């Protein structure tokens, strides 16, 4: 087997011995019928290894399905995996195949397998042992011939000890393991990946590639990159976008020193992109840059900040020792402002408070819609008590 050809085919960059060992192990496991457990932190490229196992197996002509177990709704996990029959639950208007039926004679990659509920883990174990399963709402036993490649970024043994993962399933999966090293253990590969990412990004947008002087390379390698390859890729693309220019006949590459790179390095672990940015451009992009989940996270952050500000304001202005709950409505805001005899020049602060209140209501509305009106789950999502949530309910939910 030509290891470099394998890397080129699956766009894997690096020459670290630990990476090479993981690739060789994947190729050795591939022709067997063993279920394989791939372990590694988020962002190390576990899916690429699963695809290698599939392509080097006798099942390469079959289907390869990727299932992100962490993204499956808890109440629909079994339906997604094993299918369901018509009328088995509200919304089941037709009989539907699950992944195990669709992937028959192929490979099923179960990413984030530690996120599966215990009930689903028991059903998965049965499939691994006998190939038998039943659709949700059906008593008919069906059979499938599917190879499982599972992946996780958590310590499954610790999950077993804490009761979050079945011990029998763990031992079934852990017989054949592959560990993908984090980027901090492959420091010699960091600059190779950097060059690949800036080259690809520059080629797409017709920009100059970014290269680094030796001291800048050392600076890049000293950072731990907790987000691994995914974080380094985002960092490199953003850096190139900010510092590069259009390619010209006389300028095709820009070289940075450590002093020039330093202001863009992440300030703390987990910060995925350079810290400098154009605030004006960011404001212009707000209308389309965020999806629903990202907007909800932003709204929640705003709500948390408002609660802290309200608490500090109460302690400073009212001299109250306990931290009060945020004000409950725009009407109460107006009464409080009247009592304090707010001057006209302070009105912009009032408008800001009302704006934050509307944002707070929008966050509550999204949480309630997400959990179909379940106030307890919505309150847990927002980090507040159910009583506080009820007091802040938008009018349309008070009628329900």
- Per-residue model confidence as pLDDT tens digits over 232-286: 999 999 999 999 999 999 999 999 999 999 999 997 654 444 544 444 433 443 3
pLDDT in tens, the chain (400 residues): 689 999 999 999 999 999 999 999 999 999 998 999 999 999 999 999 999 999 999 999 999 999 999 999 888 999 999 999 998 888 888 999 999 999 999 999 999 999 999 999 999 999 999 999 999 999 999 999 999 999 999 999 999 999 999 999 999 998 899 999 999 999 999 999 999 999 999 999 999 999 999 999 999 999 999 999 999 999 999 999 999 999 999 999 999 999 999 999 997 654 444 544 444 433 443 344 455 555 555 655 666 665 666 666 555 554 444 433 443 444 444 443 444 444 444 444 444 445 556 777 778 888 788 877 888 887 777 777 777 777 777 766 665 5
Domains of the chain with CATH codes: 3-181 (3.40.50.300), 185-277 (1.10.8.60), 290-398 (no CATH)
pTM beyond 0.85, yes or no: no
Q: How far is CA 214 from the centre of its chain?
A: 33
**Digit-coded pLDDT (tens) for 156-166:** 999 999 999 99
- The predicted pLDDT at position 360 comes to 74
- List the Cα angle 195/183/20 in 5-degree steps: 85
Give a three-class secondary structure readout of the chain: CCHHHHHHHCCCCCCCHHHHHHHHHHHHHCCCCCCEEEECCCCCCHHHHHHHHHHCCCCCCCCEEEEEHHHCCHHHHHHHHHCECCCCCCCCCCCECCHHHHCCCCEEEEECHHHCCHHHHHHHHHHHHHCEECCECCCCCEECCCEEEEEECCCHHHHHHCCCCCHHHHHHHCCCEEECCCHHHCHHHHHHHHHHHHHHHHHHHCECEEEECHHHHHHHHHCCCCCHHHHHHHHHHHHHHHHCCECECCECEEEECHHHHHHHCCCCCCCCCCCCCCHHHHHHHHHHHCCHHHHHHHHHHHHHHHHHHHHHHHHHHCCCCCCCCCCCCHHHHHHHHHHCCCCHHHHHHHHHHHHHHHHHHHHHHHHHHHCCCCHHHHHHHHCCCHHHHHHCCCHHHHCC
């Amino acid at each position: 087997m030509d290891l470099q050809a394998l890397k080129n085919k699956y766009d894997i960059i690096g020459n670290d011995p630990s990476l090479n060992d993981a690739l060789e192990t994947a190729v050795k496991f591939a022709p067997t019928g063993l279920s394989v457990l791939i372990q590694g932190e988020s962002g190390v490229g576990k899916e690429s290894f699963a695809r290698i196992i599939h392509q080097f197996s006798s099942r390469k002509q079959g289907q390869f399905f990727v299932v992100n177990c962490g993204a499956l709704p808890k109440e629909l996990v079994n339906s997604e995996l094993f299918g369901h029959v018509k009328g088995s639950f509200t919304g089941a208007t037709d009989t539907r195949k699950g992944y195990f039926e669709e992937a028959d004679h192929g490979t099923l990659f179960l990413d984030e397998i530690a996120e599966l509920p215990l009930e689903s883990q028991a059903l998965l174990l049965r499939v691994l042992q006998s190939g038998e399963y039943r659709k949700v709402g059906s008593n008919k036993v069906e059979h499938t011939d599917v190879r499982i490649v599972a992946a996780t970024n958590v310590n499954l043994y610790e999950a077993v000890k804490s009761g979050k993962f079945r011990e029998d399933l763990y031992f079934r999966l852990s017989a054949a393991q592959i560990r993908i090293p984090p980027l901090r253990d492959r420091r010699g590969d960091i600059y190779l990946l950097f060059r690949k990412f800036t080259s690809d990004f520059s080629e797409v947008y017709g920009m100059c590639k970014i290269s680094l002087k030796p001291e800048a390379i050392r600076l890049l390698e000293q950072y731990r990159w907790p987000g691994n390859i995914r974080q380094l890729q985002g960092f490199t693309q953003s850096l190139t976008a900010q510092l590069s220019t259009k390619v010209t006949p006389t300028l095709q590459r820009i070289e940075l020193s450590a002093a020039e790179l330093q202001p863009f390095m992440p300030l703390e672990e987990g910060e995925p992109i350079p810290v400098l940015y154009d605030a004006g451009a960011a404001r212009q992009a707000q209308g389309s840059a965020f999806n629903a989940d990202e907007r909800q996270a932003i709204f929640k952050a705003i709500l948390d900040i408002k609660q802290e500000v309200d608490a500090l304001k109460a302690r400073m202005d009212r001299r109250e020792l306990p931290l009060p709950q945020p004000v409950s409505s725009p009407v109460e805001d107006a009464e409080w402002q009247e009592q304090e005899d707010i001057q006209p020049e302070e009105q912009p602060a009032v408008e800001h408070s009302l704006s934050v209140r509307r944002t707070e209501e929008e966050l509550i509305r999204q949480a309630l819609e997400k959990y179909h009106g379940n106030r307890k789950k919505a309150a847990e999502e927002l980090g507040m008590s159910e009583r506080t949530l009820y007091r802040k309910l938008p009018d349309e939910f008070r009628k329900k």
